[in-house]
Structure 1
């Protein structure tokens, strides 16, 4: 077990919490444009711990959270032996994934229900060479390059209809401003489930061309 203990936080929310709550570290970024609830941000390269799960937005988010939390809180093998705790960052991100046939396994059987890729952003001090290896084979580590992301902020719990509405609102704003969308919608949540719904910070994010 690493002797370094860090404050835990979820991968996409804690700015909207009451003053008594702990704020989470967010991935390094610069705000390029701000217009009400919408921001355009430049994010540095990052590493994600990801797991793919099926179900509706809320169920998939909960199902994906458990193995990822297990990984960062010790369900791993450190590179030099033992296990490490990893500080969580905000937000927890969730994107709907495509079902692509592979040599093994074949995932087309899930196409009717859809699937979600749930991810935690790893703190920037970790690298692919130093991050501990997940004990759960469903948890994978993935590098993401630096990206420009547009985000629209809203409160509440996971809700498919609200996600769709906010995605449409963000797309309309981006189109009016002349941005080119080059990525699929990402649902980001910044708060743990015990935070009252009306205090929770959520975002829909879309990657745009620089």
Structure 2
């Protein structure tokens, strides 16, 4: 029995490691929105983002895209646009909404090359093209399967951290997800982002390099 349990443990461990490796490889295969890290404190960062172009549609955070929102955007990047242009998938998927994070706007980030050359208009009325203004954000990173309860908990942690440092942020927040829906919860990369008001400042202290690795 002990030997069987040992072999079972080895198999489970190998499966977990294999899944984790596959997840990291899958993320690395996508272009990811760039940002500069200004400061890092554990799982919290201050980041600066450039302007980004998004293809966006209405959604609900708890639906995980099962309300049709994900497929509306996927059809758009698959060619349901005025140029019949196929557009590469990127990370993260942004979810922007109110503090409750229930009624939100789901947005796919347009690849840098597409944003520069011009984003084609959608054929569907349910998809809009808009600019996400760049700026400085406080960001907390966490795992798990995203829903409104988890998002509120992590947003509260982030706001407590900001308050302790005297950083003032907008009343609304954003969620960001980096993984396909079938990725196990413990391996998922999720984030909550809060835009800092211009009066807030964080001095560069750790890393000011541009990142966009999606890891």
Give me the TM-score of the superposition, normalised by structure 2: 0.74
Q: 1: distance between equivalents of 2:123 and 2:41?
A: 43
1:152–1:22 distance in 2 versus 1, CA, 3 Å: closer
Equivalent of residue 73 in structure 2, options 60, 68, 88: 68
Task: State the superposition RMSD in angstroms.
Answer: 2.3
- Cα displacement string for residues 148-205 of structure 1 (whole angstroms, at most 9, x for unaligned residues): 1111011111222111110000001011112110251111111011212211100111
1:203–1:35 distance in 2 versus 1, CA, 3 Å: same
- Cα displacement string for residues 110-141 of structure 1 (whole angstroms, at most 9, x for unaligned residues): xxxx6221111111222387212211111000
1:169 aligned to 2:157?
A: yes
Q: Secondary structure at the match of 1:126?
A: helix
Relative to its length, the structure with more helix (as a share) is 2
1:161–1:140 distance in 2 versus 1, CA, 3 Å: same
Aligned partners of 1:47 and 1:128 also within 8 Å: no
How many residues are matched?
Answer: 175
Structure 1 residue ranges, 4+ long, deviating more than 3 angstroms after superposition? 15-20
Q: 1: distance between equivalents of 2:170 and 2:21?
A: 28
Aligned partners of 1:25 and 1:89 also within 8 Å: yes
Q: 2: distance between equivalents of 1:157 and 1:16?
A: 19
